[in-house]
Structure 1
Amino acid sequence: MSQMRAVLIKGEKGPVENLYLGTAPKPAPADGQVLVKIKAFGLNRMDIAQREGLYPPPAGSSSILGVEFSGTVAELGPGAAGWQVGDEVLGLAGGGAYAEYIVVQQTHLMKKPSNLSWVEAASIPEAFLTAYQALVLIGDVKKGDDVLIHAGASGVGIAAIQLARQYEAKTVTATASTQEKLDGLLRIPLGATHVVNYKTQDFAEEVKKTTNGKGVDVIIDFVGQSHWKQNIDSLAVDGRMTLLSFLSGPIVPEFNIFPLLFKRLRIQGSALRSRSISYQTDLISRFNSDVLEKISGEQGKGPIRTYIHKVYPWTEIQDAHRCMAANTNSGKLIVEVV
């Protein structure tokens, strides 16, 4: 069996120091699959959880880290259609992107827009698909809605802010922990209309001021426990909240459920990686039709832009993970296969 280079984990799980560049069997595409030679891949916080043994990949997926990438089609499996060897693509996977090659379903690839670099293209799949799913499919954002997005400087946060503006939300309030991050979110072309430092301000009180006491119609939250009561307080009547993670913890003590009934709230948890192939296929197809061609690089002219915090060669994968864990980035962290 032929080999490829890949980022592996000593002992299969552990601290950042266990990441190393080694060799692994090169995958072969099965029926309806495509082999892609990877140019760049994106980092996501789930990678840390998987590295630590807390978030195993879905059944049938590679145990190698990484769920988003850009690259060129290298080989078609039996029955694969719609692609040719040499096509430039970006894609979503259940795992395996920290590698020289990856096998994915033919439906989980998108044509790379010519205006995007490999690095910019690799920043799109997980962040923008997660934001699109949370905001549009689940949050049902509409023209004139007021929106609150937590972790605004994260890759998903920046994508969600821009999508909310693209879908003509009336206000988009973003939270972050530093003034530098907040200022950056106000500067981007389709950036937040309002910002809140969640460490020094009560975001529920701030969105009430912004919405003249009504509250927000849609919340995208990654934080969980520490934000829960303020989130419920922030929501307007018939408000919707999509919960994507619980970075502060999953347990909310002594919570009064009366507002859920009184305000007719709709709260839904969601994940993308564990969804069925058919669900992901439909999501990717809709995103490809509705959004992808509107995205350009940070210096581009598209209404929606990618924002890259830093690009690492994959020989510096440990430093990339340390940066992600420190939560100091504004925008995506991308790794190039060199």
Structure 2
Amino acid sequence: MYAIQMKDYGDVDVLVSVQVPLPKLKPKQVLLKQHAVAIDPYDVGFRAGLKGREKVPPLVAGSSAAGEIVQVGEAVTEFKVGERVAASPHLRCYAEYVAIGQSQLAHIPQNVTYQQAVACALGVQTAYQIVHDELKLTEKERVLIHGGSGSVGFAAIQFARQYHPKEIYTTASGKGAIFLRQFDKQLQVIDYRGEDFKNVVPPVDKIIDTIGGQNLKDSLAVLKPNGKLISTVSDDADTRVQLYFLKSKGKKLEAVLNQVSTGSFYVKIAESAPFTVTNLRKFHQTKHAVGKLVLTFD
């Protein structure tokens, strides 16, 4: 099968076209014929070696999948050949076929496209788990969401709105800030290139940090003493801080896709293109896209 392999850690030139054997299924896995794969910040950081270098190249990276089941393992009980599914396995997705465990799989509703589904697999699923399982927002609370036009940030804004908090503050810049102001006029959007959020945001109860580093430390200045900060990138000795990693679960992703199906959640696709090494390299180099970058196999 055709795949794009990462021959080493480094810049986009390490991504190369290869032919590799079809994956061999384990008993609880399905074989997925890919229709779409998304480019997430995690994938870009992994290729650059910023997420650790424990995995030994060459390897096939990419952590989102959406397609059709063409084979099932002998112990698979919840899925069958021909079904449309999406998932966020760790790596192996820059390929025509992917073997994925059934616990990570989500059925795609009929009125949801492969591109929409794969755009939700990693970042949106992460935001869903943070907001619904960890944040525990109430109507009396204020929340600050950093990186509001990014994958996790924009999804977190939409999920947070479902809890009707007192106020939602978010940071963005340029086109991202303009998009967010148009998307929801009640959002308190801070363009960080012209404003320091510490001078604008009142004390808040909850913070979602997708930036890390100094941004996290600065955020503690506006977090209430009994508040909670959840970061997807950094940890801190402050006991109010929790570092969060996605626990890829099909049932969680399916709940997200059902919201897409009913119109409760909006998926923004920034750009899509055919699955080629040239397009993958281009998307890995794209900065500040407003919406998801998706490669298609159709």
Query: Does TM-score exceed 0.5, indicating one fold?
Result: yes
What is the DSSP-based 3-state SS (H/G/I as helix, E as strand, rest coil) of the residue aligned with 2:43?
helix
How has the CA–CA distance of structure 1 residues 225 and 332 changed in structure 2, closer, same or farther, with 3 Å as cutoff?
A: same
How has the CA–CA distance of structure 1 residues 129 and 307 changed in structure 2, closer, same or farther, with 3 Å as cutoff?
A: same
After superposition, the C-alpha distances for 1:10-65 in whole angstroms (9 at most, x for unaligned) are x33321122122211210211111111010011112212222234358879x9311
Query: Given that residues 71 and 88 in structure 1 are in contact (C-alpha distance below 8 angstroms), is that contact kept between their aligned partners in structure 2?
Result: yes
What is the DSSP-based 3-state SS (H/G/I as helix, E as strand, rest coil) of the residue aligned with 1:162?
helix
Runs of 4+ in 1 over 6 A off after TM superposition: 57-60
2:192 aligned with 1:198: yes
How has the CA–CA distance of structure 1 residues 86 and 126 changed in structure 2, closer, same or farther, with 3 Å as cutoff?
A: same
Given candidates 140, 156, 164, the residue that maps to 2:160 is 164
2:60 aligned with 1:64: yes
After superposition, the C-alpha distances for 1:161-198 in whole angstroms (9 at most, x for unaligned) are 100002222211110122x2112112225x76110012
> Which residue of structure 1 lines up, in the alignment, with residue 260 of structure 2?
295
Alignment of structure 1 residues 1-338 onto 2, 5 Å: 4-9=1-6, 11-55=7-51, 63-178=59-174, 180-188=175-183, 193-208=187-202, 215-246=203-234, 266-272=240-246, 275=247, 280-281=248-249, 284-289=250-255, 291-296=256-261, 302-315=263-276, 316-323=279-286, 326=287, 328-338=288-298
Shift of 1:267: 1.1
CA distance in 1, matches of 2:23, 2:55: 16
CA distance in 1, matches of 2:162, 2:217: 29
Shift of 1:157: 1.1
TM-score under structure 1 length normalisation: 0.80
> Which residue of structure 2 lines up, in the alignment, with residue 211 of structure 1?
none
Instruction: Write the letter of the residue equivalent to 1:232.
Output: L
After superposition, the C-alpha distances for 1:194-217 in whole angstroms (9 at most, x for unaligned) are 100122212122121xxxxxx211
CA distance in 1, matches of 2:35, 2:54: 24
The structure, 1 or 2, with the larger RCO (C-alpha pairs under 8 Å, 6+ apart) is 2
Greater mean deviation of Cα atoms: 48-57 or 117-126: 48-57
How has the CA–CA distance of structure 1 residues 57 and 109 changed in structure 2, closer, same or farther, with 3 Å as cutoff?
A: farther
How has the CA–CA distance of structure 1 residues 129 and 317 changed in structure 2, closer, same or farther, with 3 Å as cutoff?
A: same
CA distance in 2, matches of 1:54, 1:229: 20
What is the DSSP-based 3-state SS (H/G/I as helix, E as strand, rest coil) of the residue aligned with 1:295?
helix
CA distance in 1, matches of 2:131, 2:186: 15
CA distance in 1, matches of 2:100, 2:91: 9
What is the DSSP-based 3-state SS (H/G/I as helix, E as strand, rest coil) of the residue aligned with 1:223?
coil
CA distance in 2, matches of 1:76, 1:30: 9
Unmatched segments (≥5 aa) in structure 2: none
Query: Given that residues 153 and 210 in structure 2 are in contact (C-alpha distance below 8 angstroms), is that contact kept between their aligned partners in structure 1?
Result: no
After superposition, the C-alpha distances for 1:200-252 in whole angstroms (9 at most, x for unaligned) are 212122121xxxxxx21111112222213431111124211011115xxx8x9
Query: Given that residues 57 and 94 in structure 1 are in contact (C-alpha distance below 8 angstroms), is that contact kept between their aligned partners in structure 2?
Result: no
TM-score under structure 2 length normalisation: 0.91
How has the CA–CA distance of structure 1 residues 220 and 58 changed in structure 2, closer, same or farther, with 3 Å as cutoff?
A: farther
Query: Given that residues 216 and 236 in structure 1 are in contact (C-alpha distance below 8 angstroms), is that contact kept between their aligned partners in structure 2?
Result: yes
Unmatched segments (≥5 aa) in structure 1: 209-214
Shift of 1:130: 0.7
Query: Given that residues 205 and 234 in structure 1 are in contact (C-alpha distance below 8 angstroms), is that contact kept between their aligned partners in structure 2?
Result: no
Shift of 1:117: 1.3
Instruction: Write the letter of the residue equivalent to 1:331.
Output: G
What is the DSSP-based 3-state SS (H/G/I as helix, E as strand, rest coil) of the residue aligned with 2:251?
helix
CA distance in 2, matches of 1:216, 1:102: 43
Instruction: Write the letter of the residue equivalent to 1:268.
Output: Q
The share of aligned pairs that are identical, in percent, is 28
Shift of 1:287: 5.0
Root-mean-square deviation (CA, aligned residues, Å) is 2.4
